[in-house]
Amino acid sequence: MGLIIIPIGVAVFLAFFIANILGYGGGPASIPLMYDQIVTRYGWLDNAEFSQMLALGNSLPGPIATKIAAYVGYDVYGWPGFLAALAGTIFPSAVALIYLLKILRKYKRSPIVKGMSLLVQPVISIMMLLLTWNMAADAVGSIGYIHSIVIAGLAFLALGKFKIHPAIVIILAFAYGGFIIPLIQ
């Protein structure tokens, strides 16, 4: 069987359509699926680029899935890619929301519906853990164990204990990476 070649705009649409139609739980749950499409399947970004884009995207207001789609779509195929990626991200969830909420309301007391909702959560957790593992491995490879542990520990304290806004923590990590690491190395 021969190789099927699809136009880049269609590939961009399909990559985000697949990631978002299967991303049960919203933007954060679809990030590992987008990672799979963007980094693993198509190679549009590498691990480091994806991590940087994700960090910057999380520091900006708005839904993360649409920011990732907008950036990658534009980077890959300009304005047509931007529009294709956003269409693949927004339309499936909007249409699914309209129809699935009607079904869920009708059967909300069903043990099957409750079971489906509860049993997908461990799968999403593992996907998020694998994404975290890949990003941590990339950080250790780039800046070493000590800096990775220092930044992760400080971020954990800032976010968990002191409840500092994530955007501020990301900006501080950028500053640490931009000013402290070059001085030490």
pTM: 0.67
- One-letter amino acid of 121: Q
Query: pLDDT tens-digit profile of 27-85?
Result: 777 899 999 999 999 999 999 899 999 988 888 888 889 999 999 999 999 999 999 99
Selection from 21, 29, 40, 174 nearest residue 166 by Cα: 174
The number of beta carbons lying within 10 Å of the beta carbon of residue 121 is 12
Query: So what's the pLDDT on residue 2?
Result: 56
Q: Six-digit token pair at 90?
A: 């927004």
Selection from 35, 38, 59 nearest residue 129 by Cα: 35
Query: pLDDT tens-digit profile of 151-169?
Result: 999 999 999 999 999 989 9
What distance in Å separates the CA atoms of residue 42 and residue 46, rounded to the nearest whole number? Answer: 10
